[in-house]
Amino acid sequence: MKAVLRHADGRLEQARAPWLISAEGTHSIVRTTLDLQFEGKTLAEDYALGDVHIDGDLPATDFHIFSSEHGFMGLFPMGGRHFRLIASHPLSKPSKDTAPALAELQEIYDQRSHIPARFRELVWSSWFRINSRMVSRLKIGRLLLGGDAAHIHSPAGAQGMNTGIQDMINLGWKLALVMKGQAPATLLDTYEQDRLPVMRNVLTKTEALTDVIGSENPVVRSLLNHLGPWIGGAGIVQKNATARMSQIALGYRDSPLSADLAHDGGLYAGDRVPDFRVRTRSNDGWRDEALSTVLDPSRFVLLVLCPDEAGTPPPSLTDVVRPWAGLIRTVNISATADEAPRARFQETFGRSAGVFLVRPDGYLGLAAGEPAAAGHLRAYCHRWLTAPDHAL
């Protein structure tokens, strides 16, 4: 594949690459060159956007939402008392030759917030209209799309950056294995199969949230203004919202990479592996550590559940993993003695012996209970990995 690179001084350079990833933004040259439809809609409502330093009583580490008869306003903390402000119904008429001034952003804030604060150091500002669009394909031959080149949507829920990052995390390890000859090319097809449903879900939910917070219906506005703070302040709502906004709650249960077989735990293939303290076995015996420290972003990790901390993995499992020893790390795990982590361990993995093959991106690929675990693991590896003596 050939690509032409344009340098800052205007010089052109021709480069060759086996794969091309288009993550160059909303106005993607790759997407438009391929004539891929960016299906969706543009909302009519105008918004003001600005990055400012805010002094005052506004907590600097919180995400703030204000809703009133004047419209919606959100403030996203960026560190050092800098915030990104987004507001519907700006006070002046947007145009392509202007941008929101500091004074207007201050006036919008004063109009919609009861918390004393003063704005200064406007770093950047802009007008914008919300687009909600996505492509229907992420892989065309050796071209792959992700980030804003593949999907754009309302900033409601702050999902844009996280969605793009998750795209590349999902793609990166798959492309690395294929390029090294350690996995068949069909593994890359699962990038599209994993991520397209997530993108559709994000667009659907951000459109719905935008419709609610931007509604001019007096009944909806009244309910939002009076019930919103109470609902948003509930502990369970904040916990669930945090998991969803950070996207650690999303999963790939319907992915071809997810093989869920007989086991008695609550963690299913396609779920993100949670983090809590477990006991792991090494040459020095058993020790307590965080489960996240066991996972490896460069290879699969086979968690072998040992309910009674019984020795080494069964010989059948050892034989299965041997051809892929460089691609799969095997770790024996058991529950800790502490009551809370032990309860969570049993809720997650169950009480019976089994195996859990974790993908490099931290999602569970295979879950299987004994006595058939070795056979299921062998079939999974033969489908998705290339044994070293067959690697390119």
The answer on pLDDT for 208 being more than 90 is: no
Note the pLDDT of residue 131.
85
Note the pLDDT of residue 318.
84
For the chain, the structural domain boundaries read 2-38+135-214, 42-131, 259-390
For residue 261, what pLDDT band results from cuts at 50, 70 and 90? confident
pLDDT tens-digit map of 157-181: 667 788 899 999 999 999 999 999 9
Q: What is the mean pLDDT of residues 341-353?
A: 90
The answer on pLDDT for 243 being more than 70 is: no
Note the pLDDT of residue 234.
57
Q: What is the DSSP letter of 189?
A: H
- Per the structure block, which two tokens stand in for 61? 């580490």
Note the pLDDT of residue 242.
61
Distance CA 356, CA 130 (A): 42
- Return the closest-CA partner of residue 159 out of 243, 267, 43, 259: 243
- Return the closest-CA partner of residue 145 out of 108, 123, 120, 170: 170
The rounded percent of the chain whose pLDDT value lies above 70 is 86
Note the pLDDT of residue 283.
72
Under CATH, domain 42-131 is a member of which superfamily? D-Amino Acid Oxidase, subunit A, domain 2 (3.30.9.10)
Note the pLDDT of residue 216.
60
The pLDDT mean for the chain works out to 86
Note the pLDDT of residue 130.
83
Distance CA 23, CA 212 (A): 30
Q: Which residues contact 365 (CB under 8 A, 6 or more apart)?
A: 257, 258, 259, 269, 300, 357, 358, 359, 380, 384
The answer on pLDDT for 262 being more than 90 is: no
Note the pLDDT of residue 315.
72
pLDDT tens-digit map of 304-325: 998 766 555 667 788 899 999 8
The answer on pLDDT for 297 being more than 70 is: yes
The answer on pLDDT for 12 being more than 90 is: yes
Query: Selecting from 3.40.50.970, 3.20.20.140, 3.40.50.300, 3.50.50.60, what CATH number does the domain 2-38+135-214 have?
Result: 3.50.50.60
Phi, psi of 290, rounded to the nearest 5 degrees: -70, 140
The answer to whether 2-38+135-214 and 259-390 have equal CATH topology is no
The rounded percent of the chain whose pLDDT value lies above 90 is 55
pLDDT tens-digit map of 26-81: 889 989 998 999 998 887 788 899 999 999 989 988 888 888 888 889 898 988 99
- Bigger pLDDT: 152 or 155? 152
Note the pLDDT of residue 282.
75
pLDDT tens-digit map of 272-293: 999 999 999 877 788 999 999 9
Note the pLDDT of residue 70.
85
Asked which of 67-76, 267-276, 362-371 is least confident by mean pLDDT, the reply is: 67-76
Q: What share of the chain is helix, strand, coil (3-state, %, to 5)?
A: 35, 30, 35
- Bigger pLDDT: 68 or 232? 68
- Return the closest-CA partner of residue 100 out of 118, 119, 113: 119
Distance CA 7, CA 26 (A): 21
Q: What is the mean pLDDT of residues 107-130?
A: 93
Query: Domain 259-390, what architecture?
Result: 3-Layer(aba) Sandwich (3.40)
The answer on pLDDT for 239 being more than 80 is: no
109 Rama class: left (phi>0) / alpha (psi -120 to 50) / beta: alpha
Record the pTM.
0.82
Note the pLDDT of residue 313.
63
Note the pLDDT of residue 391.
44
